[in-house]
Amino acid sequence: MIEFERVVKDFAGGVRAVDTLDLIVEKGEISVLIGPSGCGKTTSMRLVNRLIPLTSGRITVEGRDNREIAPEDLRRKIGYAIQQIGLFPHMTVGQNVAVVPRLLGWEETRVAKRVDALLELVGLDPDIHRDVYPRQLSGGQQQRVGVARALGADPPIMLMDEPFGAVDPITRAVLQDEFLQIQATIAKTVVFVTHDIDEAIKMGDRIAVMREGKLVQYDTPQDLLARPADEFVRAFVGADRELKRLGLVRVRDVMSAPGGEPPEPGEDAVPEHASVRDALSALVGRAFGETPVVDADGRVCGVITLEALRAALRREVEERAS
Amino acid sequence: MPVNRVAVLGSLIAGLSLFFLPLVELKPNRLASGTPFYLLQLEGDLRYPVLFVLALVPLVLALRPPDAVRGTLLAGVGNALLFLTLYLPAVAGEALLLDAAAILGEGVRISNPRLLPSAALALGLFGSYTVLYAGVRDLAAAGVGRGARALAAWGGLALVLLAALAGRFDIYSILVEFDVRGQQLAQRTVEHVMFVAVALAIGLVLGVGLGLWAHRDRRVSPVILYLVGIIQTIPSLALFGVLLVPLARLGDQRAMAVAVVFALTLVAAAAALALFRWLAPRLRGAGRQVLLLAVALLTAVPVALLTVVLASYLFRVSFIAFTSPVATLAQLRTLMLVTLLAAVVLQVLARRQRPGVARSWLVRATWLASAGLVVALVSALVLASQLFLARVESVSTLTVRELGVSGIGPAPAVIALTLYSLLPLVRNTYAGLVNVDPAVIDAGRGMGMSAPQRFMQIELPLALPVIMAGVRNASVALVGIAAIATVIGAGGLGDFILGGIINTSIDQILLGALPAVLLAVFLDAVLRGGEGILVSPGIRASDEVAAS
């Protein structure tokens, strides 16, 4: 758990980058810091591992004031992945991943095992990729190594500053999915900085919207989209926020039992783990006709209809009102 | 069809120069000017016209389709040209020397006549090498293996070397000169190497230190870069002159007195720095600048004293360590050579090995060999120090001159060379460090590396290619500047060059100039090799790794 208590950061010249920030990042959750450029999101993140000293207030990490811990020791216990990846170009992939374990003085055999396990975890073949240099990898592979390196010594906490920023949208989506899968098993406490609202909604258990150093709203993605605190947040999440909200609901939870014909080969079907937003897109494509839903093995397990969707939405609006 | 233009160029250079320019000159004695002889003027044999025709053969070969056959033929002709351009004039020269009296006519005093290589020989060699290079390039393009290419590239040169060892070229005047002054040449070369090595060693410590300082403190970086830039603009002759008087005066001083001055200024500088640190936040404008200047001046005195004494002393001692015939020193020299070779071989092996137990042992062995090298070097220097200071009776009467400081001789030469080495070293260290990607340093910080760890594991390895380029720059420049040190009686290869200029003896000039050029090329190659060993394949300029 990470706790910001009335944290203030003034830079030289009197610029207040972070203004009386109170924020709790729950254990095992991903908290996304988001906001326009210069809103203090990256600064807030860098206060946690003392890359920047805070001006007043306090930050506790796992219950301890972070100023009680020597900066180097603190940082070795906190995974760190950044936007430009920052892989060491003169070290092989394996050496990059091994940096923190070696700083902590692990035995070489243990380090080697850990490196291979981590590379496998992020979807790289150790035998192929361990001994190559970063410049021999694609952008997506480099980002994977960046994540593996941040996980190096199995830190309970991770700081990620736009870790998937430097790749194309398709690779980015793949990396996001993979990281969510990994997070489901490792359950790290993550501070995740981004300026992309879609990424925030997808990755975050909670989203903190910041503006000019102040926390404007801190909520789950559903609540943020359903009840923006003010005009700024409303504008920031975008006019299509209701559609984005559909992105958080799984088809599986809205579909009805299969009725009609199984889909023709090659015909569009929606996977059951897809979002309702994708299902809506398929529905539009069929002029709101019935759309089959398939499970992971490609068998039809249900259908989705406009009526079912409308019923689900109505239920939710009523819940929200009560 | 792609014509091999390089071969055409080489062939034209060789052919035209062999036709139009004199090949050798016959000199009646060491100093008098000679009578030129052209290739086609040489009589008595068909071999000379054949060389000329052979030089033009690549013109035809260049038109063949580009394949391994063309490469082999061009390389073959190039090698043959290379050898024959040196060999045939030597053969002809013997006849010329025998008939010297008849050829030069009466009235010319002939004593010890000589055969001087002339323009066509130099350009002929250049053309031959160009043809050879064109052939080797063809072979490389055709995918011929490394071994065959090496044979094509070096075969002719090996033949030349064999012939030279067999004495076939002894007739050339420069080799005659070498025969006369061989002993001296070895001595002067060692001196020359020592100048460069000692200046580079001290320059490396000072230059990398200053470069680091400039990088750490943005306020002083313009000052440092400006100062080392100014040094570079002083003509070397002027610098030698400027150093003469102060160093001579310094030499007269007692070593103890100088040590006291050193200690006092050092304490004063430290005190001034502390004062500056304390007062700096309270001072504004001019007061601050004045104080900073005072700190700089106070620091400059002990640094200058230390550099002067250290450079002078280190040169004398290393010269003894590397040349003295004392048995223990000879053994230590062997030990240094062995450990150096071992360290290089082990490091290369370690680089090739995949990470694992074997590799970590290789790395440890490399460290062991390097440690052995350092121990051998330090013991040699200590032993040489004892020999050097053997005559000193007591520390209290020891003068600075007895430590090697003097107005003329090697001391000012080494000091001036050290100063000249600073610009490339400081500039490249600074540039190398400044250009390290900030994201990479931030990553290192964020992962919990301490400042020294960041420097050793990230900044230094990443800046190393640029720093090494500076070292190569400095060393090649120093080899050249060291030749001027002869004017202050320092020795080195400049002795031959200056002597040759005074005597108008081209042979003597070449005897100094050729080894200097070879030394520069050799140093550059060695340092490039060192770069290959020390710089990580991940950041090497070539794309070899990316291809594998």
Q: The tokens of B457 are what? A: 């594991």
Residues A312/A250, Cβ–Cβ less than 8 Å: no
DSSP B458: I
Residues B117/B172, Cβ–Cβ less than 8 Å: yes
pLDDT at B546: 37
pLDDT at B472: 93
Yes or no, beta carbons of A51 and B442 under 8 Å apart = yes
B445 in reach of chain A (CB within 8 A): yes
Domains plus CATH for chain B?
Answer: 5-171 (no CATH), 183-323+399-547 (1.10.3720.10)
Tell me the shortest Cα–Cα distance from B534 to chain A, in angstroms: 11
pLDDT (average), residues A89-106 = 92
Distance of CA B445 to the CA centre of its chain: 39
Q: Which of A49, A51, A88 lies at the smallest CB-CB distance from B440?
A: A88
Q: Which of B437, B440, B446 lies at the smallest CB-CB distance from A75?
A: B446
- Chosen for mutation from B351, B354, B362, B447 (greatest number of chain A CBs closer than 10 Å) is B447
Residues A93/B545, Cβ–Cβ less than 8 Å: no
Q: In whole angstroms, give the CA distance from residue B97 to residue B112.
A: 9
Q: Per-residue b/e over B278-306, b at no fewer than 16 CB within 10 Å?
A: eeeeeeeeeeeeebbebbeebbebbbebe
Q: In whole angstroms, give the CA distance from residue A143 to residue B474.
A: 40
Report the candidate in B181, B28, B117 with the shortest Cα–Cα distance to residue B496.
Answer: B181
What is the number of CB-based contacts under 8 A between chain A and chain B? 93
pLDDT at B12: 93
Helices assigned H by DSSP within chain A: 41-48, 71-76, 93-97, 99-103, 108-121, 126-129, 139-150, 169-186, 197-203, 221-226, 231-237, 241-246, 276-285, 306-321
Instruction: Give the chain B residue whose CA is nearest to the CA of A45.
Output: B446
Yes or no, beta carbons of B355 and A99 under 8 Å apart = no
Q: The tokens of A187 are what? A: 């359950």
Residues B92/B50, Cβ–Cβ less than 8 Å: no
Q: The tokens of B9 are what? A: 């160029």
Question: Can you give the pLDDT of all 548 residues of chain B as single tens digits?
Answer: 578 889 999 999 999 998 889 888 888 777 677 788 888 777 666 778 888 888 899 998 888 888 888 889 999 999 999 998 888 888 888 888 877 777 777 666 677 777 888 888 889 999 999 999 999 988 888 888 888 888 888 888 899 889 888 888 888 877 887 878 888 888 899 889 999 999 999 999 999 998 998 888 777 788 888 888 888 888 888 888 888 888 888 888 888 888 999 999 999 988 888 888 787 777 777 777 787 778 878 888 888 888 888 888 999 899 888 888 889 999 999 999 999 999 989 988 887 777 667 878 888 899 999 999 999 999 999 999 988 888 777 777 888 888 888 888 888 899 999 999 999 999 999 999 999 988 899 999 999 999 999 999 999 999 999 999 999 999 999 999 999 988 888 888 999 999 989 988 888 888 899 999 999 999 999 999 888 888 888 887 644 433 33
Tell me the shortest Cα–Cα distance from B215 to chain A, in angstroms: 20
Q: Which residues touch B78 (CB under 8 Å, ≥6 apart)? A: B10, B58, B128, B129, B130, B131, B132, B133, B134, B135, B156
More confident residue, B176 or A192: A192
Q: In whole angstroms, give the CA distance from residue B535 to residue A181.
A: 38
Tell me the shortest Cα–Cα distance from B533 to chain A, in angstroms: 13
Contacts of B437 in chain A (CB under 8 A): 84, 86, 89
pLDDT at A266: 58
pLDDT at A272: 78
Yes or no, beta carbons of A131 and B450 under 8 Å apart = no
**Dihedral angle of Cα A216, A219, A223, A226, to the nearest 10 degrees:** 20
ipTM above 0.95, yes or no: no
Residue A167 three-state SS = coil
Instruction: Give the chain B residue whose CA is nearest to the CA of A73.
Output: B448
Report the candidate in A128, A88, A97 with the shortest Cα–Cα distance to residue A115.
Answer: A97
Yes or no, beta carbons of B462 and A134 under 8 Å apart = no
Strand order across the beta sheet in which A270-271 lies:
A270-271, A291-294, A300-304
Q: In whole angstroms, give the CA distance from residue B54 to residue B51.
A: 5
pLDDT at A262: 61
Cα of first residue to Cα of last residue in chain B, in angstroms, is 32
Tell me the shortest Cα–Cα distance from B457 to chain A, in angstroms: 9
pLDDT at A23: 92
pLDDT at A13: 79
Q: What are the phi and psi torsion angles at A94 (to 5°)?
A: -60, -45
Yes or no, beta carbons of B447 and A80 under 8 Å apart = yes
pLDDT > 70 in chain A, percent = 95
Sort strands A189-194 and A157-161 into parallel, antiparallel or unpaired: parallel
pLDDT at B544: 43
pLDDT for A143-190, tens place per residue? 899 999 999 889 999 999 988 887 888 888 888 989 998 999 899 999
pLDDT at B467: 93
Residues A256/A304, Cβ–Cβ less than 8 Å: yes
pLDDT at B352: 77
Instruction: Give the chain A residue whose CA is nearest to the CA of B465.
Output: A90
Q: Which of A75, A84, A135 lies at the smallest CB-CB distance from B447?
A: A75
* CB-count burial class (<10 Å; 0-12, 13-18, 19+) for B177: buried
